[in-house]
Every structure is written in C-alpha cells, then in structure tokens.
Amino acid sequence: MKDPVDTLTPMGVMVLALLRESDMHPYEMVRLLRARHDDRLLTITNGTLYHTVSRLQKSGLLDEVGIDRDGNRPERTTYTLTDAGRCAVIAWVQRELPRVDHPTDFRIALAEAHNLERDDVIPLLGERRIALVEEHALHRDGLVKARAKGVPAQVLVEIERQEVLLDAELRWLDSLLTRLDADSLPWGPSAFTDSDRYLAQRKAAQQ
C-alpha cells in the first residue's frame, strides 16, 4: 500500500496544515489562503482546492464533521484533520525541508516548518546546508573552469545566476540557524499566538 505522504501535493499539505489550526470548510480555506497571500507559493483555485479536499478524504487524511446551511447560501461541509493527516503534514515537511532538488516543494515546506519543533527543524536545515554547500561549490568551481577554458560569457549567465542565488541562500540559512540556535526566534506550534490580526483573518474567512 502506498504511503499517503508520497501522494501528497503541495496544495494538499497546505490544506492539512490549515486543519491543524481548526476545523474548516473549503470556502474558508480558500479565503484564508488568499488572505495570507499563500497564492504567491502556488496557484489557488476553488476547483483545485475542492478536488484536493476530496482526495485527502479518500486517503483518510481528513474527515467530515458536519454540514452547515446559512440562509440562501449553499451547504458547506466542515472537515477535520485525522491523526493520519496530522502525521502526514509533519512527515512531508521533514522530507522536503532538507532537499535542494525540489525548490517549489521546499518553499511550501519552509512555510509550514513552524508545525515542527525547534529541535526537529535545526538538524533538517543543517542537512540542507550541507547539500547547498556542495551545490554552490559545484557551480562556483564550474564557472572558474569554464572561464579558464575560454567559454563565452554569454552562455554562462544562467550558471552565474544560480551561483549567486546559492551563495545568498547559504548566508540567509546561516542567519536563520543562528537565530534558531540562540532561541531568539519564537518557534513551533506552542510559540504561535492568536494575534488580533490572525483572529480577524479567520473571522473574515468564515463569512
């Protein structure tokens, strides 16, 4: 039998992560994702999200907890996270956070990394740092060799860009790890507070 984590899509991870906060109906999920500007990470459409919810339910990662009808509005089915779904979010983030070959998935994993405890996140990011150092050295040394061989500069611009991006990410990652190590950055599910802005977002999304 296939591991549910292997079939999770980035959208599926974001849906499950939302349900870690509270039970919700899909319409609320869409509005909350857009209010938080998570559509900068992936395309969010009503059709895609409703299809994702259906797939997650069939996989046993979420379940229905009720159907509401308010006035002339269509019925809204509210979903809750199952134990399997809660574990799947954590397992997916743990798998994708250290990887350097899935850049899109990494952005989702990083956005949901606050669902992991500090002691889990630090070693995973440490693994990623090792992989980034190797990747950066490969691009840097490749550029040196190519230039020494007289390779035309115009065909090296993509490699130059990637080398710069890798260098920048390493500097950013070192800064993040320093803050995590020093406990100067509040982290983990228990460190998240229900701010007035957060509560206002939730209330607006429920309308």
Give the Cα separation of 62 and 60 in Å (integer). Answer: 6
| Residue range 4-111+192-205 in CATH 1.10.10.10 | yes
pLDDT of residue 204: 61
- Give the pLDDT of residue 71: 60
C-alpha distances (whole Å) from 188 to each of 1, 38, 102 are 32, 19, 24
End-to-end CA separation in angstroms for the chain: 40
**Amino acid, single-letter form, for residue 89:** V
pLDDT of residue 184: 87
**Phi, psi values for residue 54, rounded to 5°:** -60, -45
CA distance 85 to 56: 8
Residue ranges per structural domain of the chain: 4-111+192-205, 117-187
- Quick: pLDDT tens for 110-160: 999 999 999 999 999 999 999 999 999 999 999 999 999 999 999 999 999
Percent of the chain with pLDDT over 90: 77
Distance of CA 123 to the CA centre of its chain: 17
Whole-prediction pTM: 0.86
Q: What is the pLDDT of residue 54?
A: 95
Q: Across all residues in the chain, what is the average pLDDT?
A: 90
Write down the pLDDT at residue 5: 81
Give every residue of the chain whose pLDDT is below 70, as ranges: 1, 69-73, 192-207
The answer to whether 63 and 54 are in contact (CB under 8 A) is no
